[in-house]
Amino acid sequence: MLEDRRCVLSRGYRRTCEREDDWACMNYELGKFDAKKNGKRQLEIDGDEEVCVRKLSKQSDDCERLDLTLTLFDISVSQADQSAKQHQAGDTSDSGSLIHQIGWDNSISCLSRCSRSDYGSIASLNRSFRSVIRSSELYRLRRENGVIEHWVYFSCRLIEWEAFDPNRRRWMRLPMMASNESFKCSDKESLAVGTQLLLFGKELMSHDMSHVMSPVIYKYCILTNTWSSGMRMNAPRCLFGSASLGEIAILAGGCDSDGNILSSAELYNSEKGTWKTLPSMHKPRKMCSAVFMDNKFYVIGGIGGSESKCLTCGEEFNLETNSWTEIPNMSPVRTGVAREFDVPATAEAPPLVAVVRNELYAADYADMELRKYEKERKIWVTVGGLPERAGSMNGWGLAFRACGDQLIVIGGPRAVGEGYIEVNSWVPTEGPPEWNVLAQKQSGNFVYNCAVMGC
């Protein structure tokens, strides 16, 4: 029985399955006690969904995680079987100390080094494992040990969200959001910070017999696999720039509910759930982008001024000195092929920028070029092209993100009606840009929102 269960878990790492996982890996109710099966705890699997995993990367750390997970599973299932025998004998105590053989601290250390794709299976073993998997302490320990896995979260159907694990090349669906219809039609910004995915927008609210669109924030937590709402920042805004670093994030600029362009900024701590007002930027700006680089926060481009023109400068926020510095010509203004016609500044997407290993890159959707920012000379240089299928509408609908040590481009074809997207990847340390297709799936070909969570 033990070997059979071990094979069920390990088989998922060796096979390719085209079916999409309905977030089985985060289903904390998978393991159930069934008295009809000799009183033993069975790991229930819905078809192949729990083991529906594409071929794992050949990297040594993935192999080590697999061995660790299987060993942990062996010990835990054996322990669970022993607990079931005790249950039959009248001992109803829970096997609550995780892995008895190695103790609590070592058990937690082992769990922190397992892939979080396996946490759903591990959580199904007993209540103690489930409680630990749903604890933020486990992810704090992962950060301390340098164990970080980056997953891409994106939406191609307004409020329907999916996640993609680039290591396992596995698609997963998030639960549906319980939002009203007006939220679907509002401008939305997304941000992944810590173990949370935040989605900012507006909803139609009733106040004193009147109906107004009010800012709202929806929060998805990977610990509970649920959405919630009700959180508010100090100065609600939309069309802002944002970026995260571990458990903190900074949001800067944007517009208030009256359409006024803001220079203010706030810092969000996802572990404490607090918002802190920061000093204001030198220039108000909306529709800007933001990144963390060299442990500093940068706001790039955007629209500002009395004539609502594109800003070419950027601003750097130093967390140690709590101050802003303006940087001229930091926005990746196009220098290549001229566009056939100009579009209003407000019709273009914010700059498509991302940071890998403290190097800043930009995607020029019009000229289909990839550029890199040379920090010493403070100039942009073209380093290659974008994937052929990186179609967009003035930059909208195309996702360009850093995902660990690689750049990720998610997009569909330029032609209308082709309902699928591709995930393309390039690792800058491996030479000139050569984009590899990590995955392709049937979906809408317009990416509304995208964020990368590393935890």
Separation between Cα atoms, residue 295 and residue 181, nearest integer Å? 39
Nearest partner of 245 among 297, 318, 322, judged by Cα: 297
Query: 333 CB contacts (<8 Å, ≥6 apart)?
Result: 310, 312, 380
- Mapping DSSP onto H, E and C, the string for 404-447 reads CCEEEEEECCCCCCCCEEEEEEECHHHCCCCCEEEEEEECCCCE
Give how far the C-alpha of residue 185 lies from the chain's centroid of Cα atoms, to the nearest Å. 22
Where do the domains of the chain lie, and which CATH numbers do they carry?
2-144 (no CATH), 150-454 (2.120.10.80)
Report helix, strand or coil for 253.
coil
Going along 208-264, which residue ranges are E strands?
210-221, 226-229, 241-245, 248-252
Contact status, residue 364 vs residue 381, Cβ threshold 8 Å: no
Using CA atoms, how far residue 171 sits from 118, 147, 411, 418, 421, in Å, is: 14, 21, 15, 19, 12
User: Any idea what the Cα angle at residue 394 is, between residues 165 and 288, rounded to 5°?
Assistant: 75
Low-confidence ranges of the chain (pLDDT < 50): 1-60, 66, 84-87, 89-95, 336-340
Write the burial class of residue 426 (CB in 10 Å: 0-12 exposed, 13-18 middle, 19+ buried). Answer: buried
Tokens standing for residue 101: 């053989």
β-pairing verdict for 399-403 and 226-229 = unpaired
Nearest partner of 195 among 123, 143, 235, 132, judged by Cα: 143
Contact status, residue 286 vs residue 303, Cβ threshold 8 Å: yes
Contact status, residue 235 vs residue 277, Cβ threshold 8 Å: yes
Report helix, strand or coil for 208.
coil
Give how far the C-alpha of residue 154 lies from the chain's centroid of Cα atoms, to the nearest Å. 8
Nearest partner of 39 among 89, 95, 74, judged by Cα: 89
Predicted local distance difference test score (pLDDT) of residue 173: 93
Tokens standing for residue 387: 């994937």
DSSP for 339-365, please give it.
PSS---GGGSPPPEEEEETTEEEEEET
Write the burial class of residue 230 (CB in 10 Å: 0-12 exposed, 13-18 middle, 19+ buried). Answer: exposed
Separation between Cα atoms, residue 298 and residue 318, nearest integer Å? 9
Tens-place pLDDT, residues 34-85: 333 333 333 232 333 322 323 333 344 555 554 555 555 555 555 555 554 4
Separation between Cα atoms, residue 331 and residue 312, nearest integer Å? 5
Supply the pTM of this predicted model: 0.80
Torsion sign, CA atoms 410, 201, 216, 263: positive
Helix-then-strand count for the chain, H and E? 7, 28
Predicted local distance difference test score (pLDDT) of residue 271: 92
Tens-place pLDDT, residues 211-269: 677 889 999 999 999 999 989 999 999 999 999 999 999 999 999 988 899 999 999 99
| Edge-to-edge strand ranges of the sheet holding 436-442 | 399-403, 406-411, 420-426, 436-442
Compute the chain's Rg from CA coordinates.
24
Nearest partner of 323 among 292, 296, 363, judged by Cα: 296
Predicted local distance difference test score (pLDDT) of residue 393: 84
Query: Within 13 Å, how many C-alpha atoms sit on residue 74's CB side?
Result: 11
Nearest partner of 440 among 20, 13, 11, 14, judged by Cα: 20
Helix axes 103-113, 60-88, angle to 10 degrees: 140
Separation between Cα atoms, residue 136 and residue 142, nearest integer Å? 10
Separation between Cα atoms, residue 64 and residue 145, nearest integer Å? 15
